[in-house]
Amino acid sequence: MGLIIFNSVEATQAFGESWATDLTGGEIFALHGVLGAGKTQLVKGLARGLGYKGDVTSPTFTIVHEYRGGRLPLYHLDLYRLKDENAGIDIGLEEYLPSDGVTVIEWPERLASILPPQTRHWELEVASLTERLIRQRE
């Protein structure tokens, strides 16, 4: 998949929603990008696509949010506040790799050595105040 340009939050969420169609559980998505690149907006769309009806927010302070009630559980990890990889291992984050549902990790470089090979890496970039770019890493 090449470069995709989103011109709105709604377009970013719609792309995330489209991911949910073929997911069966056990998928892991690693989202790379600076603050404000649209990572959480992508997760909001994914949750909606899986049938989750509640609010989806960034788990920056709690590290993990679990969303249940949809077709598959969604585990949203935000590792921004982790000091290092050992901190993530100490709190048991590897139990989400893989899981019974879909795991999405923001700031995945904080757990790089324990990410399984099937992890799909995506790069998100800020192009302008309203535009975001996304591409899958090979």
pLDDT in tens, 20-57: 999 999 999 999 999 888 899 999 999 999 999 999 99
Predicted confidence (pLDDT) per residue in 64-84, tens digit: 999 999 999 999 999 998 888
Q: Is 104 exposed, middle or buried (0-12, 13-18, 19+ CB in 10 A)?
A: buried
pTM exceeding the 0.85 threshold for the entire prediction: yes
What's the token pair of residue 120?
């799909």
Q: Tell me what pLDDT residue 116 has.
A: 92
**What CATH number belongs to 4-136?**
3.40.50.300
Q: What Rg value do the Cα atoms of the chain yield, rounded? A: 14
Give the chain's length.
Answer: 138
The answer for 81, left when phi > 0, alpha when psi is -120 to 50, beta otherwise, is alpha
- The full set of domain ranges for the chain reads 4-136
What are the backbone dihedrals phi and psi of residue 8, each rounded to the nearest 5 degrees, phi first?
A: -160, 160
| Residues 134 and 127 sit within 8 Å (Cβ to Cβ) | no
